[in-house]
Amino acid sequence: MRTGSQVRRTDKKRPFALHPGRRLAAIAGLALLLAACSGSGPQTSLEPAGRIADDINNLWLLVFWVATAVFVIVEAGLVYAVWKFRERKDDDRRPRQVHGNNAIEITWTIVPAVLLAVITVPMLSGLFEMRKVPTGDVLQINVTGHQWWWEFEYVDETGPDGRSIVTANELHIPADRDVYLSMTSADVIHSFWVPALNGKRDVVPGRITNLTLSAFAPTPDGQPHLGQCAEFCGLAHADMRVKAFVHDEAGFDQWVAAQLEPNTAVGAGWDTFTTFCTACHQVTVEDADGVRTVGPERVIDVDGERTFRSSLAPNLSHFGSRTSIAGATFANDVAHLSAFIDDPSSLKPMTPERNDIAAGIILGMPDYGLDSDEIAGVVALVQSWE
Amino acid sequence: MAMTTEAPAIDTYTGRRGIWAWITTVDHKRIGLLYGVTALVFFVVGGMEALLIRLQLAGPNLELLSAAQYNQLFTMHGLTMVFLVIMPIAAAFTNYFLPILLGARDVAFPRLNAFSYWLFLGAGLLIYSSFFLGGAPDGAWVGYAPLSTQLTEVVRMDFWIIGLQLLGIASIASSANFIATAFTMRAPGMTMMRMPVFAWMALVVAFLLIFSLPAVSIGLFQMFLDRNLGSLFYEAQAGGDPLLWQHLFWIFGHPEVYVLVLPAMGIVSEILPTFSRKPLFGYPFVVFSGASIGLVGFGVWSHHMFTSGMGPIAEAGFGIATMIIAVPTGVKIFNWMGTIWGGRVRLRTPMLFSIGFIAMFVIGGLSGVTHAIIPADTQQHDTYYVVAHFHYVLFGGAVFGYVAGVYYWFPKWTGRMLDEGLGKLHFWLMLIGFNLTFAPMHILGLNGMPRRTYRYGEGLGWDFWNLAATVGAFTIALSILLFIINIIKSRRGGEPAGDDPWDGRTLEWSIPSPPPVHNFDEVPVVRGLDDFWYRKYGEDDEGRLLALETAEAEAVPQRDEEPEDIHMPDPSYYPFVTSFGLVVAGFGLVYLGVGGWIAVGVGMMTALWGFFGWSLEPVTREH
């Protein structure tokens, strides 16, 4: 242990120097702490990508550092007190019997109270700021929560037939323009949450709740902001996810224009599709008879305040343009989609045996026992709807 | 009178030995032990559920559990730990020690006390029987409507409703009992402001339960009607309101948090002075901060609902109230540190766990303040950040406090010490395992991981910290295993404790270990706070501790004379009968139908028989 003694000698010269091993450990620990505290991943709340999320994060950072300071002071004080006054061997100290000290106690009642009062000011102003209804050029979107998928209706973006764009689980929004969500639920309580764009907001049946999303910049190709339902909503709560694609102005207009084009109802899969799928799914198509929408329509009217155009299952118009299926849980490719149609509950846990379409209760996609040709036909058809 | 190693001869004062003696007991100490052992068993069960949850989440997309199984397990884990572990362990300590700390021979209503225990046990078994009857409740322990009223043909959530209702009845009965005990059974000279802090906290908790449980009882009753008899309280389409349930639940649910943690704070407030050889710093501040936590605790419930859409005015009000409640909590922490300061701190196991309690509770308290920052809470709510927060309060806080209590009072229960070496190992393993499990959850939550999710995908950056949490959970499990081994080993083979092994301050240390059935041969006359301590010690001119020479003679009550003229209440099987009837009726309500109604009838008749028998039997038989 020659190196050890050398180190000890250097330690004497510099009382605060650390043993190289310990220094390494300290650096590693610090790096770990920094890594832990910095945000990571596409669903983090610590890398805000919009005005509101940024305001929230700044408030969080403020209280985080205040709390960290209090934490360090209190824990250090505790450890110091225990260490300093610990009983040693043959310790015969007779402690002074202090019963209390009003001045000190009043001080440590008032100081935290003042500290909290100071934090309360930015908290309140931040709260009222983030709850403001956005004004100006605002994109209005209706959101309906379903067990276990999200439905988005672009109320202002209507086609020649007067119908608005309805899509599911993948939200497309413009950058630099506030998006105002009006949300309700078709069944139980959900909570809409895309951390990079704002905090979460519960989605409650019989009520309208609102959330403003704002994004600084378009998301890179293939890297949307991720989110998911945050209020426990039953069996497949974990698989009720959402992707938020942010476009620049031109890109968003382009997306809207594409969504307003009707799909073409051709191919071998169409008969199978209309026999089984349109019992719940809606799609707008164009064929020899013109443009028409097939599948059940459900209108959710909340207290006469607002109507949500909805369906029993995700609207499949332009399904081919989506990147994911089954509540944004699996990639939208032939393998996953075929497996999903073949046995839906094996990919995503659902209980279609409890469906009651007449009562509007849909708890999953049934396995209709389609053969592989039929499945291939349907997959080819819906994926062709770009 | 040094060591009392053998159980006193009068231990069988209640007449019979064996299981019948336990079923019919009305002795607060036996009932306390029953609560404690039952809570420990449920703790192991709830811990197993937690381990399964952690295994499932150890990596992305694992398939150990199905979604259905996972949802049952996390629901039952929460339900078990809150209602079947922490509440009853607090009831165990309160039952055993409240009368003794006040210088009483029993609680005010001994048979009501037995009733509370048997009903608690029956309700726990009723809830757990669901595992064998088609599946356990799976709507989370909060059971938000309308998810919990959605599938009425599946009776899982009926088990949850009926189980909670029965537990509520048991809690209200025992709370009334404790309040009556604290107000009427105190020994001569034991004024309110001479009550040990633990007794104070038990009293505050009893009031919290009495006032908060009715809210959730009404909510559960409405939910039961919605599910079984077609009412529409929570049905939005029919004009009902799902958020009504959340308000009713949290009006109970938030005071409930203080119900869980205040008794632990009381225990720590007993242990710190004893092991620092100093009085509690600022006793009135600690007592009144506890009481004000209880009071303000009724005004913060909606901070569980900051994302539900109440509107910014209401949110601001509840946010400020939540900030305010941090003040008395901070006062307690500073007063505890003031107690340690300048003392001669003996780092025995109870003290280690108490210090651990303070250190961990500080973290839980600070993360609680970050929830009061409402905009930030909209990110944290329903994520693993919240899971981390309340485990720092309820595990790092409450459980550490109760474990400290077990190490502290085990000698009084059994006459034997728990092993110090094993105890210290237990402490360090639990401290490390606890932090390894729950500290990473802060990071997971902030990085977007929602709670109550049975799986998560790859590429979200959650893999490493989830694995760390799983390793931590098994470390905790190992420490609990050591704890149980220690209890089993020391119960018979531990070092004999004597009456006063810690040089204690309060009345329980003035009587034998374990105490005789009647606790005190002579009801003590109390002259001040920490009276027993001041029979042993005084202060010199500088205020320093000074041992009194007459201590020995004065401290130990006379025990030679046979306590001929003390009449303790006789054992009774009626409390058991009454509880049994109510649980049978509960099963009937779960399976409402012809058979169910018959069971309700039979159960209620049995309960009535018990009530009447109980009312009509004499308290003590003629001698």
Per-residue confidence (pLDDT) for residue A253, from 0 to 100 = 93
Q: Which residue of B has its CA nearest to A124?
A: B316
Please answer yes or no on whether A43 and B449 come within 8 Å at the CB atom.
Answer: yes
Which residues, other chains included, contact A65 with Cβ-Cβ below 8 Å and sequence gap of 6+? none
For residue A140, give the nearest of A97, A102, A109, A183 by alpha carbon.
Answer: A183
* B374/A45 CB distance under 8 A: no
Q: How far is residue A142's CA from residue A166's CA, in Å, rounded to a whole number?
A: 9
Does residue A106 sit within a domain?
Answer: no
Return the closest-CA partner of residue A210 out of A146, A152, A310, A142: A142
Contacts of B541 (CB under 8 A, 6+ apart): none
* CB-closest option in A67, A195, A234 to B379: A195
- CB count within 10 Å of CB A166 equals 27
For B144, which residue in chain A has the nearest alpha carbon?
A189
Task: Please give the average per-residue pLDDT across B565-569, as a whole number.
Answer: 74
Q: What is the pLDDT of residues B358-396, one digit of tens each?
A: 999 999 999 999 999 999 999 999 999 999 999 999 999
- Domain co-membership, A20 together with A164: no
Q: How far is CA B101 from the centre of its chain?
A: 18
- Which tokens sit at A43? 């669903």
- CB-based contact B147 A93, cutoff 8 Å: no
pLDDT tens column, B332-368: 999 999 999 999 999 999 999 999 999 999 999 999 9
Q: Which of B256, B248, B160 is CA-nearest to residue B208?
A: B256
Residue A59 in domain = no
Residues of chain B with C-beta less than 8 angstroms from the C-beta of A101:
281-282, 338
- Residue B547 pLDDT > 70, yes or no? yes
Set of chain B residues whose Cβ sits within 8 Å of the Cβ of A36? 440, 443, 465
B276 to chain A: which residues are within 8 Å by CB? Answer: 85, 95
CB distance from B457 to chain A under 8 Å? Answer: yes
* CB contact B542 to A (< 8 Å): yes
Looking at the predicted structure, is the pLDDT value of residue B500 above 50? yes
User: Any residues with CB less than 8 A from the CB of B191 and at least 6 apart, and which?
Assistant: none
Please identify which residue in the block is written with the tokens 């308000």: B247
Quote the CA–CA distance of A353 and A358 in Å, as a whole number.
14
Q: Are residue A338 and residue A190 in the same domain, yes or no?
A: yes
Instruction: Answer whether A127 sits within 8 Å of B459, measured CB to CB.
Output: no
Q: What token pair was written down for B155?
A: 């009776």
The vertex-B509 CA angle with B506 and B514, nearest 5°, equals 140
Q: Stretch A223-233: mean pLDDT, rounded?
A: 95
Residue A43 lies in a domain: no
Shortest CA gap A232–chain B (Å): 6
| H/E run at residue B52 | helix B28-56
Listing DSSP states for B557-590 in one string gives PP-SS--TT--PPPP-SHHHHHHHHHHHHHHHHH
CB atoms within 10 A of CB A226: 22
**CB-based contact, B464 to chain A, within 8 Å:** no
Work out whether the CA dihedral B613, B615, B619, B620 comes out positive or negative: negative
Q: Is the CB of A113 inside 8 Å of chain B's CB atoms?
A: yes
Band of the pLDDT at A4, cuts 50, 70, 90?
A: very low
Q: Determine the average pLDDT of the residues in A320-337.
A: 92
- Residues 128 through 187 of chain A touching chain B, CB cutoff 8 Å: 128, 130-131, 187
Q: Is the dihedral of CA B323, B328, B331, B333 positive or negative?
A: negative
Query: What would the mean pLDDT of A182-208 be, rounded to a whole number?
Result: 94
Nearest CA to B172 out of B101, B299, B265, B87 is that of B87
pLDDT, residue B565, reads: 67
Q: Is there a contact between A153 and A309 (Cβ–Cβ < 8 Å)?
A: yes
Residue A79 belongs to a domain: no
Cα A254-A258-A263 angle, rounded to 5 deg: 175
Measure the CA angle with vertex A273, ends A271 and A278; round to 5°: 120
* Lookup result for tokens 């031109």: A250
Q: Which pLDDT band, with edges at 50, 70 and 90, does A1 fall under?
A: very low
Q: Are residues A148 and A285 in the same domain?
A: yes
pLDDT (mean) for B30-59: 95
Q: State the smallest CA–CA distance between residue B572 and chain A in angstroms.
A: 45
Tell me whether residue A30 is in a domain: yes
Q: Which residues pair with A225 in a beta bridge?
A: A244
Range with lowest mean pLDDT among A218-232, A260-274, B164-178: A260-274
Sheet harboring A241-247: ordered strands across?
A170-174, A241-247, A225-228
Distance from CA of B417 to the nearest CA of A (A): 20
Distance CA B9, CA B3 (A): 15
List beta partners, residue A154: A165
Q: Is B342 at the interface with chain A, CB within 8 A?
A: yes
Strands A149-158 and A164-168: antiparallel
* Chain A residues touching residue B338 (CB < 8 angstroms): 98, 100-101, 104-105
Distance from CA of B480 to the nearest CA of A (A): 25
Residue B6 has what pLDDT?
41
Query: What Å distances lie between residue B186 and A107, B159, B287, CA to CA?
Result: 34, 40, 17
Range of the domain at A189: 139-384
Nearest by Cα to A300 from A203, A158, A157: A203
Residue B84 DSSP one-character state: I
Q: B541 falls in which pLDDT band (50, 70, 90)?
A: confident
CB A205 to CB B237 under 8 A? Answer: yes
Mutation target for B interface from A105, A118, A354: give the one with most B CBs within 10 A: A105
Distance between CA atoms of B244 and A43, rounded to whole angstroms?
31
Residues A158 and A23 in one domain: no
Closest partner residue to B345 (CB to CB) among A70, A85, A100 is A85
So what's the pLDDT on residue B410?
A: 95
In this predicted model, what pLDDT tens digit does every residue of B410-451 receive, in sequence order? 999 999 999 999 999 999 999 999 999 999 999 999 999 999
- Pick from A127, A204, A235: CB nearest B71: A235
pTM of the model: 0.91
Domain count, chain A: 2
The predicted model gives B153-171 an average pLDDT of 92
Chain B partners of A99 at a C-beta cutoff of 8 Å?
279, 281-283
- Assess if residue A70 is contained within a domain: no
Quick one: which of B35, B8, B25 has its CA closest to B402?
A: B35
Interface check for B345 against chain A (CB to CB < 8 A): the answer is: yes
Q: Look at strands A283-287 and A263-264 and give their pairing.
A: parallel
Q: Which of residues 193-232 of A touch B (CB under 8 A)?
A: 193, 195, 198-202, 204-207, 209-210, 226-232
* A366 has a pLDDT exceeding 50: yes
Q: Which of B278, B335, B355 sits opposite A105 (nearest CB)?
A: B335
Mean pLDDT for all residues in chain B: 90
Instruction: Tell if the CB–CB gap between B281 and A55 is shorter than 8 Å.
Output: no
Mean pLDDT (whole number) for A347-360: 88
- Out of A67, A130, A230, the one facing B382 most closely (by C-beta) is A230
Beta pairing partners, A302: A306
Q: Which residue of A has its CA nearest to B464?
A: A36
Measure CB to CB from residue A232 to each of B140, B281, B345 and give the nearest one: B140
**Nearest residue to A112 (alpha-carbon basis) of B503, B212, B368:** B368
**Distance between CA atoms of B76 and A355, rounded to whole angstroms?**
26
Query: Of the candidates A97, A204, A230, which has its C-beta nearest B309's C-beta?
Result: A204
Locate the chain B residue with the closest alpha carbon to A223. Answer: B459
* N-to-C CA span, chain B: 31
Same domain, A174 and A291: yes
| Placement of tokens 């393998």 in the chain | A335
- The number of C-alpha atoms within 13 Å of A323 and in the hemisphere containing its C-beta is 13
User: Which residue do the tokens 């307690």 mark?
Assistant: B332
Domains of chain B: 9-525 (1.20.210.10), 574-623 (no CATH)
Cβ neighbours, 10 Å, residue B509: 23
Whether residues A56 and B379 touch (CB distance < 8 A) is answered with: yes
DSSP element (H, E) containing A144:
strand A139-146
Q: Is B207 exposed, middle or buried (0-12, 13-18, 19+ CB in 10 A)?
A: middle
Region B299-306: mean pLDDT is 91
Percent of residues, chain B, with pLDDT higher than 70:
94
Interchain CB distance below 8 Å, B67 and A228: no
Nearest alpha carbon to residue B406 among B395, B393, B417, B396: B417
Instruction: Measure CB to CB from residue B334 to each of A108, A205, A226 and give the nearest one.
Output: A108
Q: Identify the helix (H) or strand (E) that includes residue A181.
A: strand A179-185
Query: Is residue A184 included in any domain, yes or no?
Result: yes
d(CA A217, CA A175): 5
Under a CB-based contact definition with an 8 Å cutoff, are residues B221 and B145 in contact? no
Cis peptide before B146, with omega less than 30 degrees from 0?
Answer: yes
Query: Quick one: which of A144, A86, A153 has its CA closest to A317?
Result: A153
CATH number of residue A223's parent domain: 2.60.40.420
Q: Which amino acid is located at B241 in the chain?
A: D
Nearest-CB residue to B448 (from A45, A97, A108): A45
Q: Using 50, 70 and 90 to split pLDDT, how confident is the model at B559?
A: very low
Residue A104 has pLDDT above 90, yes or no: no
A to B CB pairs, distance under 8 Å = 298
Cross-chain residue pair B375–A55, CB shorter than 8 Å: yes
Rounded Cα–Cα distance for residues B59 and A2 (Å): 44
pLDDT at B618 over 70: yes
Interface membership of B137 toward A (CB under 8 Å): no
Q: Could you tell me if residue A47 is inside a domain?
A: no
Select from B24, B23, B27 the least CA-distant residue to B11.
Answer: B27
Supply the pLDDT for residue B3. Answer: 41
ipTM confidence score: 0.89
Helix or strand or coil: residue A158? strand
Q: Are B517 and B14 in contact (CB under 8 A)?
A: yes
- At A347, list the tokens: 């990919």
* B583 CB-contact burial (10 Å; exposed 0-12 / middle 13-18 / buried 19+): buried
From the list A39, A131, A231, which residue is nearest B312 (CB)?
Answer: A131
Contact A49, A216 (CB under 8 A): yes
Q: Which two tokens stand for residue B471?
A: 């390793």
H runs (alpha helix) in chain A: 2-13, 20-37, 51-84, 102-130, 249-260, 269-275, 334-342, 344-347, 372-384
Residue pLDDT, tens place only, A61-97: 999 999 999 999 999 999 999 999 998 888 888 888 8
Task: Say which of B359, B374, B546 has its CB closest to residue A78.
Answer: B359
Question: Which residue on chain A is closest to B139 by alpha carbon?
Answer: A234
Sheet holding A149-158, edge to edge: A164-168, A149-158, A139-146, A179-185, A209-213
B193 close contact with A: CB closer than 8 A: no
CB atoms closer than 10 angstroms to residue B522: 11
DSSP states of B90-106: HHHHHHHHHHHHTT-SS
Q: What are phi and psi of B332, to 5 degrees?
A: -60, -45
Main-chain dihedrals φ then ψ at residue B143, nearest 5 degrees: 50, 50
Give pLDDT, residue A34. Answer: 61
Average pLDDT, integer, range B220-228: 93
